A and B are shown apart, each in its own frame.
Chain A
Amino acid sequence: MTGTTADTQWKFNARYVVLPTENVDTDQIIPARFLTTTDRTGLGPSAFNDWRYLADGSPNPDFVLNRPESQGAEVLVAGHNFGCGSSREHAVWALAGAGFRAVVSSTFADIFRGNALGNGLLPIQVSPEVLAKLMSLHTPTSTVKVDLEASTLTLPDGETVSFPVPPFSKYCLLNGTDEMGFLLGTSDDAAKYEAAHRSSFSTLAAGAA
């Protein structure tokens, strides 16, 4: 951990790793052959598996996550359109399992963004200029500061930029509640909707047999 004692779950200082690749797809974040798990945990060691390990299973020394200074870094900084492709939430579980608390990019794929927010892995969207600056300012010890409540990211040089977080996601994260609770609370409205939209449609219907 690189943070100070004043750090909280949603306000923290952390070292970061730069992965200057664009369009990082979720097949790279967690290859499909690891998706046979029925758990959410245990995927961290396989994050970026095919970039991170050589064919013989040893760490690829050229991959950024394997550098000594990357150990303990909690923020991943990557090229635009991060998390494209497959909807697998395993990608978020793998990144969280590998110790990341936030990903910074100039754009995120829609499904990945939603999955990340739901799991408390912050997708921090910044302008291409800020992203480029963050990449160029990187040193083994430089840190960023993430503040969810203020929705700000502070760069190593002290520049602070704000990032978009849907108000509802922010509320859920800061209050430790989740979308499921909210949805279950709308159950009466759903019942009214169902009553007003009666349909004979059924996947259980005998006609299917």
Chain B
Amino acid sequence: MSAPKTLFEKLWERHLVRPQTESTPAVLYIDLQLVHEVTSAQAFTELRNRGLKVRAPQRTIATMDHSTPTTPGGFKAMPVLDQSAQSRKAQLDQLAKNCEEFGIPLLALGDKRQGIVHVIGPELGLTQPGMTVVCGDSHTSTHGAFGALAFGIGTSQVAHVLASQCLLQTRPKTLEVRVDGTLRAGVSAKDVILAVCTRLGVGGATGHVIEYTGSVIRALSMEERMTVCNMSIEAGARAGMIAPDETTFEYLKGRPHAPKGAEWDAAVADWQTLRTDEGATYDQTIVIDGSALEPWITYGTNPGMGMSINQPVPDPDSLGDRSERDSAVKALKYMGLTAGKKLAGTPVDVVFFGSCTNARISDLRDAAQVLRGRHVAPNVRVLVVPGSQQVKRQAEAEGLDVIFKEAGAEWREAGCSMCIAMNGDQLRPGQLAVSTSNRNFEGRQGSGGRTLLASPLTAAAAAVTGVITDPRTLLEVAV
């Protein structure tokens, strides 16, 4: 019998084209590469300069998401394109040209399958257990929710995979994040991963691949698992993954690219072996009591600076070393928040529902649950940006768009939007936003803008009350 292995080890070994040696990294086969407009142009240029072709166009798919307009009608509806819109449009046109020239399928603006790259991969059934998935985007870790080894790469590596379908990688370490217990009502997957980021710190998992285990993780839906894996990179992890199970198979069955018939049965039989064996060891393990978690929110300028919503903002003086204290002081200054004071009751300017972390249908249902029959608070701007056109259509079929519009929120087209603020959707300097996205870095949502990361429920509670609010007070569940 072979030695017990972790899920990561199984995925790693399955994809070795050449093993790692003393002097060279491993050559890893890549099953699927996702491409978007912002990190691919220079890679295609490199292929062109070297006279190279795409080795496996059938393992590559492109979409447009980061810089696409989310206003109705898109570019066509804009009376004039300012300089920034022109350069965004040029970048999108370039992607279309590149895909055409290199034979890569493109789900362009206007395609009914277009959307955020990490939302569409799973919803089309492209992301499957046991795969290696890469994209020139750090949140590629999202796809690990299916028991895939999925990670973000730079543009030079995008070119490597286009040309060779392989990647040079040194083997990372493994970190088990076990979340035991049962989540309480009003506490969601986003709260779990924000708490994990707080526990690990923004660089705490550097060099590691996380496997999420434990009863809380097992009980999560696929969409919730994606929310968790999505933010693995915010703790510095190379990737995050969850072993596939019935929940995974159920989600995938019947999706356009999922195997069918006898192939499906064979695939499931194989996927069932993708789990960490009894007795296998991780380089590190941390354990979190899921039953004790509360809705979580960030107060600082990286995703590791978070706390439960009813706690006071930590005093920098209480933190470990001097440089940590200095960072916290700097962060609070930027955020305009006071140590020792609770966030609850703080007025907000903008609420953003969107991003590859929380813009799938279950997230929009969560938001609608709070917004139904209520109205957005005066002076608060609320954007709801579905993760994909498919999510948008589903939401409209369920009437969620009506709930949002009647509540006074903006109902947008699919895209990254204010998560990265490249497309014109952005905070004004000084504005404070509650966002369901994944990064609260300085200026991430617009130069000078200030971001608090939270779950869709918490964001919705802020939208209707106009201030930071524990969503459980509106859901009539125990606080």
Contact = CB atoms under 8 A, between A and B. Distances in A.
B168 interface: yes
A89 B38 CA distance: 10
B138 A85 contact: yes
A87 B39 contact: yes
A77 to B, nearest CB: 13
B318 interface: no
A111 to B, nearest CB: 6
A150 interface: no
Given A32-B422, A184-B163, A27 B203 contact: no
Contact of A38 (B90, B153, B206): B90
Contacts of A25: 302, 439, 441
A207 B327 CA distance: 51
A197 B59 CA distance: 13
Given A79-B323, A84-B202, A89-B154, A110 B236 contact: yes
A6 interface: no
Contacts of B233: 85
A186 B57 CA distance: 18
**Contact size class for A?**
35 or more
A177 to B, nearest CB: 12
A23 interface: yes
A84 B327 contact: no
Interface string B159-180: 1100111111010100000000
A81 B447 contact: no
Interface in B109-158: 113, 124, 126, 128, 136-138, 152-157
Interface stretch (B18-26, B274-282, B361-369): B18-26
A56 to B, nearest CB: 12
Count chain B CB atoms within 10 A of each CB in A33, A35, A168 and give the residue with the most. Answer: A33
A93 B162 CA distance: 21
Interface residues of B, number: 85
A108 to B, nearest CB: 8
Given A22-B323, A107-B203, A110-B206, A87 B166 contact: no
A28 interface: yes
B160 A36 contact: no
Interface string A142-181: 0000000000000000000000001110010000000110
Interface string B33-68: 000001101100110001010010111110000110
B190 interface: no
A190 B166 contact: yes
A202 interface: yes
B178 to A, nearest CB: 23
B24 A80 contact: no
A107 to B, nearest CB: 6
B450 interface: no
Contact of A180 (B60, B163, B238): B163
B48 to A, nearest CB: 12
A186 to B, nearest CB: 5
Interface in B310-332: 323-324, 326-327, 330
A80 B236 CA distance: 12
A183 B160 contact: yes
A166 B25 contact: yes
B87 A36 contact: yes
B58 A203 contact: yes
A85 B439 contact: yes
A1 interface: no
B256 interface: yes
Contact of A110 (B136, B238, B421): B238
Given A179-B160, A182-B24, A203-B105, 14 more contacts: A23-B327, A25-B439, A27-B444, A33-B421, A39-B42, A81-B236, A109-B206, A110-B238, A167-B22, A167-B23, A168-B25, A168-B168, A200-B259, A205-B58
6 contacts: A27-B444, A39-B42, A85-B138, A86-B439, A168-B25, A187-B164
Identify the 8 closest CB pairs spanning chains A and B, nearest first.
Answer: A81-B203, A38-B41, A115-B154, A89-B154, A87-B152, A203-B61, A183-B164, A202-B58
